[in-house]
Amino acid sequence: MPRNAGLIWIVEDDDAVARLIGSTLERYDFASERFDSGEALLRQLRQRTPGLCILDLGLPDMDGLELLRQIRAQHAFGLLILTGRGDTYDRVTGLELGADDYMVKPFEPRELIARVRSVLRRYQPALPGTQGEAPRVAAFAGWRFDSATHDLTSPAGQTETLSLAEATLLRRLLERPNQILSREQLLDGRNLDALDRSIDLRVSRLRKRLEENPQHARLIKTVYGAGYLFCAEVVWL
């Protein structure tokens, strides 16, 4: 099936929003095509696939989560949900069904582009010689984390240096935000039994540093029975 890795599909029934997404993409040199219903997208998918699809959840003919499930049953290209629905249930279900990222409207054009690029990178084979140029500073929710020095700077500008264990965990979360990560993934699969509890311990230490109220965590959410979810827009600089 023909696959156009540079093409972005927009599934959005609201004309004004679709135009805004399309013009944002165009400004950053991405070609896009727009579909105003789930059925229109599924029809095209029988013939060709894009590099990435930006998917609204509130569609006139079907729920976007159902459309997502049908796409993922057959295709592996980038999927970014861009929706007015910001509740945890939709977010978690969308990510569980295989969306690569989740954004809530209204969107910041530059953030949309950063996330589009990040999803597209995930689907690209690694290029030789690019490892040394990986970005090392992550910005999220007003915080900054330098993955080389382990310095964590708060929105108020205070810097603390994290322990190696905390820094490693935070880096894993920041590398894959808005995805459910199991304890095993957070530990890299090593010595799971012994370290299972230590992950929870490290998470609670990180929460004490990052969260206003560690009992009601907003950044590092627990997904019961599954693991943890880092809920923030992360931009690597």
CA nearest to 79, candidates 1, 178, 226, 183: 178
CB of 61 to Ca ion, least distance (A): 11
Which position's Cβ is nearest Ca ion? 58
Smallest separation (angstroms) from Ca ion to the CB of 154: 37
Q: Which is nearer to Ca ion, 112 or 120 (CB)?
A: 112
Residue 84 or 142 having the CB closest to Ca ion: 84
Least spacing, CB of residue 93 vs Ca ion, in Å? 17
CB of 58 or CB of 86, closer to Ca ion? 58
Identify which of residues 13 and 151 has a Cβ nearer to Ca ion in the complex: 13
Residue 119, exposed/middle/buried by CB under 10 A (0-12, 13-18, 19+)? buried
List residues near Ca ion by CB under 5 A. Answer: 13, 56, 58
* Residue number, 105 or 209, with CB nearest to Ca ion: 105
| CB of residue 13 to Ca ion, shortest distance in Å | 5
Residue (63 or 188) nearer to Ca ion, CB: 63
Least distance in angstroms from the C-beta of 234 to Ca ion:
26
- Supply the minimum distance, in Å, between the C-beta of residue 114 and Ca ion: 23
